[in-house]
Amino acid sequence: MKITAPKFIKRMMPELIWGLEDDERVFLTFDDGPTPGITEYILQQLDKYNAKATFFCLGKNVEMYPDLYERIIAAGHKVGNHSYSHIKGWGRSEEEYVEDVDFANQFLHSDLYRPPYGRITGAQVKALAPRYRLIMWDVLSQDYNRNISPQKCLNKVLRHVKAGSVVVFHDSGKAYKNMHYALPRTLQYIKEQGLRCSTIELWKG
């Protein structure tokens, strides 16, 4: 998967938000949590650098670990919807896909949504866009990829991150080794660049 999205996809689906216009901030995001033993590490690192982030949570994980979910919110971070069951949009009907997303929002109550795998059809986008801001990314760490080293994961991020970037890490066991190494070093780099990490705050209108 490419780190950044092809321009033709951005033109085809203007409802998808890939980056934000900002001269001072970077927007770190974490997909797939909350996950016991991993979410706590992320929160610790964010707190160490006085950084805020947006967690795109799975409804099923919030249902299983409500206390951990509340810790994310209590720490001043933003939460977003990442579907209930990590559903892939491609090959799913619009009705089935939207139903899974809306069911997740019974636990999340968020106006932000990120499609799992970034796989979403035009019809699904049109159905969700009136109610959610659809957040993609412009820097994908690929921390979940067990074929790359922690150093390579870090390099992918540092090579592309800039003011206004939406960066994806994962709050999951599969990604933990690479994320564990790359996250604190990314936070240090962002600080050294004179930037700060903020939550994604967007409003429908």
Closest CA to 188 of 40, 53, 41, 45: 45
Return the bridge partners of 133, or none: 112
Catalytic residue among 31, 32, 102, 138: 31
Three-state secondary structure call for residue 78: strand
State yes or no: is 102 an active-site residue: no
State yes or no: is 47 an active-site residue: no
| C-alpha torsion sign, points 145, 136, 6, 12 | positive
Residue spans of beta strands (DSSP E) within 73-140: 78-81, 112-113, 133-135, 139-140
Catalytic residue among 32, 100, 138, 170: 170
Task: List active site positions.
Answer: 31, 170
